[in-house]
Amino acid sequence: MNSIKTTLMALLLPTVLGVSMGAESSNAPKVLVPPSTSPAAVSTVQPAPTPDRDHPVSSVPDETKAQRDARMGWWRDAKFGMFVHWGVYSVPAGYYDGKPIGGIGEWIMNKGKIPMAEYQKFAKQFTADKFDAAQFVATAKNAGMKYIVITSKHHDGFAMFDTKVNGWNIVQATPFKRDPLKELAEECRKQGIKLGFYYSQAQDWNNGGSANGGKWDKAQEHSMDDYIDKTAIPQIKEILTNYGPDTPAVVWWDTPTDMTKERAARIDAVIQRLRPGLIQNNRLGGGSKGDTETPEQHIPAQGYPGRDWESCMTLNDTWGFKKDDQHWKSTETLIRNLCDIASKGGNYLLNVGPDSHGDIPAESVKRLAEVGAWMKVNGEAIYGTTATPFGEELGKPTEAVDGYGKKRPASSGKVWRATQKPGHVYLIIFQWPKDGKFIVPAFAHTITEANLLADPPAYGFIPKLTVSQNDNGVTVSGLPEKAPDAIASVIDLKY
């Protein structure tokens, strides 16, 4: 913990805004004074372009720090996105031959060993008759999400877009006959959020790609290179070029089973030719590291210092719709997960699994709206922030079970989190103190003001907070007795 704190401090110090180190190291408690004029930013000399040695791992070799920051900028600021797993698996919705199939819903063909011809029949019932891109995007926006990543093709090989490569797609094989990705791209543009595409580049159980755990139908037997050349690459070209120059804003690869270095390089060459510098996750395979780490169904204990990262998680226990799965996470868990992730410098990609009508389950919509209401008041503590300047609040890593039942290190600290952006530290408090005071570790800058982000009308008065700080820590006093928010309350410390 100490070494993390030292590293974070070391990172912070060069950016001190007109505050001398001598002032911070004084032992005398500092009492808050009203802010005068905002501190003048120190002018910085642009460094000569050199490869970003601090972040050498990237999908673009040898880019400079400035280039990388520009390329990743919107993604880092966004913090919160919607993952969408929508496909033919939403028709069986967890059942095959009248029997429930265990595991995640989009894996039903694999787990149920459903023959290709049988599985393909489900497409005829994929009506998507309730699908409304405007409403869909509005649900994400209303949750405070800044981007959507949707399955353009999952492991079942079914293209959720108008592909000319084969007939196993939403336009040709379903009664819907439309391209939802096109409609979503237009709506996202209109409503001002980004759209990314998930594409299962390796596993493909209907077009001769690989299959985790082995194939189960003779019709699946095929050459992997032939699949890469005749299905994956041509479809990747389609999703890179048919939806406007801004879409996809991200490509999200998954499960690189049988993905060799050579196959991955061929796919990456297509990306760099058609959409150079497109943000890619770390799952292309063949040793490629991509731009983002992708912890799945868990939040890492410490984040990934020096790497961009995104925790993808489900709202219940499945990605693709399963009619029996009512194991919904509470809004409290969702909001605190978002705060936890932001405090470690990551993004939260939270999944919805629409049904075969194109409806997002009401239990999901309700929770997303509740998270959105919290974000409307407290979003300033999330968007555009970076990891905590402290670290102690994360506690010593403890063992927890992830969404797949696997043991993982997780943070033991449960009481508060912090984020920051230049001039602000946000204390996000899960357990509101009873004594009107909140104490955090020492901070390298002089704090000039403290405010609650929550609406003053909740109290009928504006609580006047005071701050004192010294080498031992920062004390915020004058907190109202009642928590501004039952789930997570934010104190904005200005410096």
Q: Which residues bind ligand H79 (CB under 6 A)?
A: 85, 103-104, 106-107, 111, 254-255, 296, 312, 319, 404
Is residue 166 helix, strand or coil?
A: coil
Shortest Cβ 111–ligand H79 spacing (Å):
5
Let me know how long the chain is: 495
Is residue 309 helix, strand or coil?
A: strand
104 vs 342, beta carbon nearer ligand H79: 104
111 vs 237, beta carbon nearer ligand H79: 111
308 membership: H or E segment, kind and range: strand 308-313
Shortest Cβ 285–ligand H79 spacing (Å):
13
Shortest Cβ 94–ligand H79 spacing (Å):
12
For β-strands 473-477 and 438-440, DSSP reports them as: antiparallel
106 vs 308, beta carbon nearer ligand H79: 106
Shortest Cβ 302–ligand H79 spacing (Å):
22
Shortest Cβ 109–ligand H79 spacing (Å):
11
Alpha helices per DSSP H over 153-223: 170-173, 180-191
Shortest Cβ 196–ligand H79 spacing (Å):
13
Distances (CA, A) of 151 to 17, 34, 164, 217, 240: 44, 51, 18, 24, 14
Distances (CA, A) of 470 to 32, 190, 317, 440: 12, 49, 46, 11
Shortest Cβ 104–ligand H79 spacing (Å):
5
328 vs 383, beta carbon nearer ligand H79: 328
DSSP secondary structure code for residue 296 in this structure: B
Measured at the CA of 305, the angle between CA 317 and CA 253, to 5 degrees, comes to 45
- Report the C-alpha gap between 197 and 151 in whole angstroms: 6
**CB atoms near residue 329 (< 10 Å):** 18
3-state DSSP of 363-387: HHHHHHHHHHHHHHHHHHHCCCCEC
- Report the C-alpha gap between 13 and 8 in whole angstroms: 9
68 vs 283, beta carbon nearer ligand H79: 283
Look at residues 117, 90, 115, 83 and name the one whose alpha carbon lies nearest to residue 104: 90
346 vs 391, beta carbon nearer ligand H79: 346
Q: In what order do the strands lie in the sheet with 489-494?
A: 416-421, 424-429, 489-494, 449-452
Say if CB 306 and CB 72 are below 8 A apart: no
352 vs 452, beta carbon nearer ligand H79: 352
Shortest Cβ 188–ligand H79 spacing (Å):
20
- Report the C-alpha gap between 478 and 484 in whole angstroms: 13
318 vs 448, beta carbon nearer ligand H79: 318
256 vs 484, beta carbon nearer ligand H79: 256
Shortest Cβ 429–ligand H79 spacing (Å):
31
285 vs 413, beta carbon nearer ligand H79: 285
Shortest Cβ 85–ligand H79 spacing (Å):
6
Shortest Cβ 241–ligand H79 spacing (Å):
24
Say if CB 75 and CB 308 are below 8 A apart: yes
116 membership: H or E segment, kind and range: helix 116-121
Residue nearest to ligand H79 (CB): 103
- Report the C-alpha gap between 186 and 244 in whole angstroms: 9
86 vs 131, beta carbon nearer ligand H79: 86
